[in-house]
Amino acid sequence: MEVYRASGRLLGAKRVPQKVAMTEESKRERQFEAKIDLMRERIKDSDDLKVQDEVFDRRALMDLYALASKGVIASLGGAVSTGKEANIFRAKGENDKDLAVKIYRINTSNFKAMQNYLLGDPRFGSIKGTKRAVIIAWTRKEFRNLRRAEEVGVKVPHAIAMRENILVMEMVGDGETPAPQLKDVALEPKEAELAFEKIAEYVSILYNKGNLVHADLSEFNILYAEGEPVIIDMGQSVTREHPMARSFLERDISNLARHFGKKYGVGSEEAVKEKIRAGKEG
């Protein structure tokens, strides 16, 4: 409650007579409470309460409520994953569509590293300041990266909306069941070869047409759905202008070749580089 009162005053309530301001304030306060309760109700079958507490502070609840009012989210379900920086939840959207809601934790330990990724990116270079501002810029960055990847033809979850530290995207998988990560699937030799080729192609078009380097590409950040690889987790992806872009690209290529080489005996770094060269000309 304190939070709201303080901001209510800051927003200019001091100019109106005290009595009116109080009435207006308590009205808004009641509405605020109702919104929070509604959102809490929507977060029904979330299994891990501790996880909830960590991300569902009042602000997050308000932002979720705003997304719900816009019709982006109809209900929020259980946790899909609790990563280093973000928690992913199932949700339902318009027409019962299955969604994944990624909520970046404001108190992430990686906040310093995040700043470095943002600094070299001409789109976000001037972001400084509070943890919150950095995390919000990071969320926006992931949203924009996913959109750009999709535009140039890389298979990624469609990014639907973002608000503050919350990113709403399409759920990759079968209904509410998220697709497995590449590390957890066992592909047939032919499938493995095709998957490698496809991902190498994605690295190339992302770089050549999207002007982006994924920068954390690995068997953890590639899902496998309906016989196809889907690239996820693009918060850290940087534009080619970033001073580290080249070495991030090298690392992505090496992770990709290592995984497919070790597990399936297919693919090579050179094969990915060849695709990138071909993509430059084509």
Ligand X SMILES: Nc1ncnc2c1ncn2[C@@H]1O[C@H](COP(=O)(O)OP(=O)(O)OP(=O)(O)O)[C@@H](O)[C@H]1O
Q: Does 85 bind Mg ion (CB under 5 A)?
A: no
Number of Cβ within 10 Å of residue 189's Cβ equals: 10
DSSP character at residue 158: P
How far apart are CB 218 and Mg ion at their closest, in Å?
A: 8
Three-state DSSP at 157 gives coil
Which of the following is catalytic: 98, 121, 216, 252? 216
Q: Does 231 bind ligand X (CB under 6 A)?
A: no
Taking CB under 6 A as the criterion, the residue among 52, 181, 211, 268 binding ligand X is: 181
Tell whether residue 233 is a contact of Mg ion (CB under 5 A). yes
Q: Given the complex with ligand X, which of 183 and 246 has the nearer CB atom?
A: 183
- Of residues 158-177, which lie at the interface with ligand X (CB under 6 A)? 169, 171-173
> CB under 8 Å to 2, separation ≥6 — which residues?
none
Q: Which stretch binds ligand X (CB under 6 A): 83-91, 183-191, 193-201, 237-245?
A: 83-91
CB 124 within 8 A of CB 199: no
Provide CB contacts within 8 A for 72, sequence distance 6+.
Answer: 93, 94, 160, 161, 168
Q: What residues are paired with 82 via a beta bridge?
A: 87
Distances (CA, A) of 266 to 51, 204, 252, 257: 39, 18, 16, 8
Residue number of the CB closest to ligand X reads 83
Question: 63 an active-site residue?
Answer: no
> Contact residues for Mg ion (CB under 5 A)?
221, 233
> Contact residues for ligand X (CB under 6 A)?
80-81, 83-86, 88, 100, 102, 157, 169, 171-173, 178-179, 181, 220-221, 232-233
